[in-house]
Amino acid sequence: KTRRPTQNPLCHGADPNRNSDVSWGAFGGSSLPCSAIYYGDHVFSEVEMKQFSEFIPTVPNLFGYISFHSYGQYIMTPYAVSRNAADDFELINEIGAKAKDAISAIRGTEYSVGSMSDFFGLIAGTSVDYVAINQKPKLAYCYEISDTHIVATEEIQAIGEELFASVKAI
């Protein structure tokens, strides 16, 4: 979550991966500020996502986009907002499988590859859907990089090495 204060002084931030304008707040999130999946006060309420929404359209001919998060061990493809397959889904899944194998080769960590909606159901407001729908890159992925929301300090380097190998494979 971001760290912006909310209307509840005990709870900070929103989930930036539910804060874009792609069906914002419609499903797969929470209106409760203390929830890990709180989608924010309004579309692009989080400064990080507001800046993101202003920057991404300025990138000409965007070929690929990767978003990193920490909860699970997944390499996910669009879409979260629907069950529709992404354009070129066969290519995206084939490359995703190579990225998964590159992770596994480092220390045996197993990731799963598939669409965001297949793993988590329908989710509105994700950054990957925002980019996939508005910029239409050839490749778009959302990584979930750990089985916890907060990555243990002693895991950071190893996870970084896995991710570096995975991104090189892409």
Does residue 161 have an active-site annotation? no
Q: Do residues 78 and 129 make contact, with C-beta atoms less than 8 angstroms apart?
A: yes
Determine which one of 54, 144, 154, 155 is catalytic.
144
Q: Do residues 1 and 14 make contact, with C-beta atoms less than 8 angstroms apart?
A: yes
**77/119 Cα distance (integer angstroms):** 10
**134/138 Cα distance (integer angstroms):** 12
Active site amino acids: 144
